[in-house]
Amino acid sequence: MKKEDEIFIPYGRQKITQDDIKAVVKVLQSTMLTQGPMVPQFEKAISSEVGASYAIAVNSATSALHIACKALNLAQGDWVWTSPITFVASANCALYCGANIDFIDININNGLIDVDKLEEKLIYSEKNGRLPKIIIPVHLSGSSCNMKRIDELSKQFGFKIIEDASHAIGGKYNGVKVGSCQYSDVTVFSFHPVKIITTAEGGVACTNKQEIASKMRVLRSHGITKEVNSFKYKPSGPWTYEQQELGYNYKMNDIQAALGISQLKRLNSIIHKRNKQRDYYQKAIKEENIQMLEIPLNVKSSVHLAIIRLTNKSAAEHKKIFESMLKQGIGVQLHYSPVHMQPYFRELGFRENSFPEAKKYAESAITIPIYEDLTVEEQNRVIDALSNAIRS
């Protein structure tokens, strides 16, 4: 290993254990690499872990968001609203369906959509006949949005809810696990290697609604159904399946599912460690005018990301501190550069100042390293590097 590789601390990284490797090898030595027993087993493990009736495993959270939108009948002319402080996938899923995208500005202290602003925007949009069909709250860094309030608004204004919980498996809201879909139609998790647990690439869509679950199941596999009872035509033999609509090949394979099952067993200990690491940062960072992203009171965060905010620095100073940290071998990141400011979205008509809190957030937030194997010594190095950066 080169010296530089040894000393660079990334903002996040996966952990693969011997048990994980054994689980994957076992599938590789079996007869079924895909469409075998592991995917249904993984789905069962996920749904019982998060308390949802159904879990549909797919090849990414992006795919899960897409088929969730489709299953909720999102189509051309409809509107989807999400947070500007998210990964682009939370917005792209609307565009895949030919729908329009808009955003709700955030609460800068916790990075989550501001429900007061959401309510204002709904009242205004109702007058213009432009109410959203779907709202996608994003549980940034693993902290649940104010789902009770969003659910109340959904009943008042008639929209559906997809929780983008890509960061939030293992988290709780009001003591109930994220993914239980208590206040939503669908909840989506990601298993990309930087997330809480991984299947290399992968995602899952959870729901309590049988009809939405079966729609998503059909959509992940070409629009094909093998349920003879739901065939449109009388089958000509036992080999028949029917494609009844246009779907996709979004299937998860058995190698991924086996890794997921194995990783899921460590979920509780992973969440515990991440919370401890976050607490350590919170206590040990003594700089004035630096705040960690707040976790709402009724939320148990999965702490997917450790995000600090510089509360009295200019955008230029923020950039300088960022660069200095990188030079010192600390893999800082920005989660996220606001989606509406991406070139593709600017072309849809969004301006930099369309969501001023999101812009201000992006000029003050820094993601610092947090992951399962991060040591206290490494955390201390991060904290020292931050002090240096601020004083340089």
Contacts to ligand PLP by CB under 6 A: 60-62, 86-87, 89-90, 138, 164, 166-167, 190, 192, 203
Q: How far is the CB of 142 from ligand PLP (least distance, A)?
A: 10
Q: Which of 30, 342 has the CB closer to ligand PLP?
A: 342
Q: Which is nearer to ligand PLP, 132 or 137 (CB)?
A: 137
Provide the 10 A C-beta neighbour count for residue 88.
15
Question: Closest separation between CB of residue 164 and ligand PLP, Å?
Answer: 5
Non-local CB neighbours of 195 within 8 Å, separated by 6+ positions? 166, 167, 169, 189, 304
Query: What is d(CA 358, CA 379) in angstroms, rounded to the nearest whole number?
Result: 28
* Shortest Å, Cβ 168 to ligand PLP: 9
CB of 155 to ligand PLP, least distance (A): 25
Q: Shortest approach of ligand PLP to residue 93 CB, angstroms? A: 9
> Minimum distance between the CB of residue 219 and ligand PLP, rounded to whole angstroms?
16
Least distance in angstroms from the C-beta of 87 to ligand PLP: 4
**Nearer residue to ligand PLP within complex by CB, 91 or 389:** 91
Peptide bond into 336 cis (omega under 30): yes
Tokens 């992951």 identify what position?
A: 371
How far is residue 357's CA from residue 84's CA, in Å, rounded to a whole number? 10
C-beta closer to ligand PLP: residue 194 or 292: 194
Question: At its nearest, how many Å lie between ligand PLP and the CB of residue 370?
Answer: 14
Give the number of C-alpha atoms closer than 13 A to the C-alpha of residue 212, restricted to the C-beta side.
28
The residue (of 87 and 361) whose beta carbon lies closer to ligand PLP is 87
Nearer Cβ to ligand PLP, position 306 or 390? 306
Instruction: Select 270 or 390, whichever has its Cβ closest to ligand PLP.
Output: 270
DSSP state of 145: P
Complex with ligand PLP: residue 62 or 110, whichever CB lies closer: 62
Q: Are the C-beta atoms of residues 142 and 305 closer than 8 Å to each other? A: yes
Q: What b/e sequence results for 140-159 when a residue is b if at least 16 CB atoms lie within 10 Å of its CB, and e otherwise? A: bbbbbbbbeebeebbeebeb
Contact in structure between 42 and 189 (CB atoms under 8 Å): no
29: Cβ contacts below 8 Å, ≥ 6 apart: none
Q: 195: which DSSP letter?
A: S
| Residues 44, 37 contacting (CB under 8 angstroms) | no
